[in-house]
Structure 1
Amino acid sequence: MFIRLLVAIICICSLTFQFAFAISSEPAKEILRSMAVAVRSLSYSGKLVYQRADVLANLAFQHDVRNGEEIARLRRLSGQPMERAQSGNALIEAVPGPNVLRQGYPLPGFINPVPRQIFEAPYQITLGAVERIADRSAQLVLVESMDGHRHTYKFWVDEETSLLLRLQTLNAENQTLEQFEFSELSVGPQIIEIAGGEESMQVKVYPITQTDSILQFSPANWLPAGYQLASALPSRAGSNRVYTLVYTDGLGSFSIFLELTNTRPQPDMQATLGPTVALAKDYALSRG
């Protein structure tokens, strides 16, 4: 019997550097705190461009808060229609035809930074220049990795509303792996119709699991500084049970998928797409 290990590492670079903490700017940290609140609490909409590897898409995003619950809708305006939404404690996705994209497809709009964890992780956080994004004044905040276990980020934050207008993910060579940028932004109450277009869309709903129902275990005996187990959830792939473990430092994250299988061992696998690295390896288990 074999256990198949698949690790999806998002926003973690593969090079190693000497670990060191650096002094961060308190004004820069305060802007990140304000941004983390604004993206979840304000009503706004806009159009943006998203790029990752060879993927380039025009998107429309809406966000509102009703009776204390978030409602958000992200639609792809170019290429095949696709929609991802959040309504209260459910994630919703809609695509044409019978096939549904895998959960976790990395689209902007649902960024959920956790400032406390970010500040405890080995990042240096500093202010950059004020620039013009979407015809608005935006303050650049640089969140720079100080070790080899995470990427560097650039946030452009609206000076008026603290909303995120642009985000870049950079590797150790300062190359852009993923980015999105709003070209238009409107702040105010929104009318959001989930899967409400003319296209015939198949809708699939994923419940958001509450923290108190998450299995708290981890097979990892070592973690990079700042990373914590966020969830460990059982699921199934066909007849096989799969455990999904998610670790985060408040900004970057990686997932481990554990699957017990009786099939023949497969060759090791590694694949990279933008900021995401996927690794797979089979391990033989002793019986008894």
Structure 2
Amino acid sequence: MIFRAVCLLAALIGGPVAWAQSQAEALSMLSRAVTASQNLSYAGTFVYQSGANVETSRIAHYVDSDGNSIERLEVLDGSPREVVRINDEVRCYLPKEKIVIEDRRGSRKTFPSLLPESINSLGEFYAIKRGASGRVAGFETHSVLLEPKDGFRFGYVFWIEAQTGLLLKARMVNERGEAIEQFAFAQLEIGLPLSREDVRSRMAAMSEGWAVHSASTTTGQNVDVGWVASAPVPGFRQIAGMRRSLGPDRPDMVHMVFSDGLAAISVFIEPFRKEDGNFIGPMKHGAVNVFKRRVGNFIVTALGEVPPHSLLRMVEGVEQKR
């Protein structure tokens, strides 16, 4: 009887300790992944999958002697597209449309740099623990599981390369553990002696005369845009607020971004037009859920890779400041 009691006490004490150790180890692995994506040079091919949509891209990442992070991404399926990023400055080349889009990366993250720099805050909304080991693109990896603590966000699984810490595979899952979307390297070389030439745009030379569209804001980040989310989704705080120009003959569009550190919800507010009348309510585009609501003479659109009821709650709480 005494032996059983001692074993039970050991289990009660050891359970939380083991869980805390697992979480601390998992957080350390995620932190390594953040550093690796910023500091390593690598080149490879990865596959993005969302439902029936599959897209393959080639990526090269280089860090120069001044510490600048330079990246070139080429989409290999469908219409040709090339994205070149130097730190937070992004240029997207669309040769079919003969358009160059200039923007700042801001809060948007791209594979394999999906994780936020502040990892510890994720533990408030996700149960974080180490998962099983495995192989991705020929590399040994350890996995980290992020299970949501409520129904306002999806879960994630990250596969991290054992030696360098680079993120090699990322999967978003629903409440049943089913994949919603996934990024995974199919071929990868880490630590290559790359040069500036390896990440230089291949389309810049042919883009002379193309239309240049600047998606930059007309005001600074996180400014007072005259709108507020009175009842935001739990865990999602506003990280940006801006006005975006839609052209010389149209009013500016308000854009607010809310994030829990990993998932993000974008809210767009623009004047109501007659053609918007048939598109009120929920919609879905691949892994991205969308919800539109009319507020007076405006259309409020919320979109993000979160459950539909999270977007409904967000748009129902958006209102103009009085």
TM bin (shorter chain):
0.7 to 0.9
- Taking structure 1 as the reference length, the TM-score comes to 0.80
Q: Is the 8 A contact 1:93 1:203 kept in 2?
A: no
Measured after TM superposition, the shift of residue 285 of structure 1 is 5.3
- State the match for 2:43 in structure 1: 45
Alpha-carbon distance change, 97 to 129 in structure 1, aligned in 2, over 3 angstroms: same
- State the match for 1:75 in structure 2: 74
Alpha-carbon distance change, 265 to 130 in structure 1, aligned in 2, over 3 angstroms: closer
Counterpart secondary structure, 1:219: strand
Listed as ranges, the matches of 1:1-288 within 5 Å are 25-66=23-64, 67-98=66-97, 100=99, 108-116=111-119, 118-188=121-191, 189-191=193-195, 192-196=198-202, 200=206, 213-216=221-224, 219-238=228-247, 239-261=250-272, 263=274, 266-267=277-278, 268-284=280-296
Counterpart secondary structure, 2:289: strand
* Residue ranges of structure 1 left out of the alignment (5+ in a row): 1-21
Measured after TM superposition, the shift of residue 52 of structure 1 is 1.4
Measured after TM superposition, the shift of residue 262 of structure 1 is 6.3
Q: Is the 8 A contact 2:80 2:96 kept in 1?
A: no
Measured after TM superposition, the shift of residue 42 of structure 1 is 1.3
Counterpart secondary structure, 1:92: strand
Deviates more, 1:195-204 or 1:131-140: 195-204
Counterpart secondary structure, 2:228: coil
Deviates more, 1:115-124 or 1:35-44: 115-124
Give me the identity figure in percent: 24
Alpha-carbon distance change, 82 to 285 in structure 1, aligned in 2, over 3 angstroms: closer
Quick one: distance in 2 between partners of 1:110 and 1:28? 17
Give the number of the structure whose alpha-carbon radius of gyration is greater.
Answer: 2
Q: Which has the higher contact order (CA 8 A, sep 6+)?
A: 1
- Taking structure 2 as the reference length, the TM-score comes to 0.72
Counterpart secondary structure, 2:70: strand
Q: CA RMSD in A?
A: 3.2
Measured after TM superposition, the shift of residue 101 of structure 1 is 9.1
Counterpart amino acid of residue 273 in structure 1: H
Higher-strand-fraction structure: 1
* Residue ranges of structure 2 left out of the alignment (5+ in a row): 1-18, 299-321
Measured after TM superposition, the shift of residue 44 of structure 1 is 1.1
Counterpart secondary structure, 2:175: coil
Counterpart amino acid of residue 154 in structure 2: H
Quick one: distance in 1 between partners of 2:89 and 2:204? 23
- Render the CA deviation track for 1:130-163: whole Å, top value 9, x for unaligned: 1011111100101111211111000000010000
Counterpart secondary structure, 1:93: strand
Alpha-carbon distance change, 156 to 216 in structure 1, aligned in 2, over 3 angstroms: farther
Alpha-carbon distance change, 283 to 212 in structure 1, aligned in 2, over 3 angstroms: closer
Quick one: distance in 2 between partners of 1:54 and 1:184? 22
Quick one: distance in 1 between partners of 2:132 and 2:295? 49
Quick one: distance in 2 between partners of 1:157 and 1:265? 44
Q: Is the 8 A contact 2:172 2:180 kept in 1?
A: yes
Aligned residues between the structures: 265
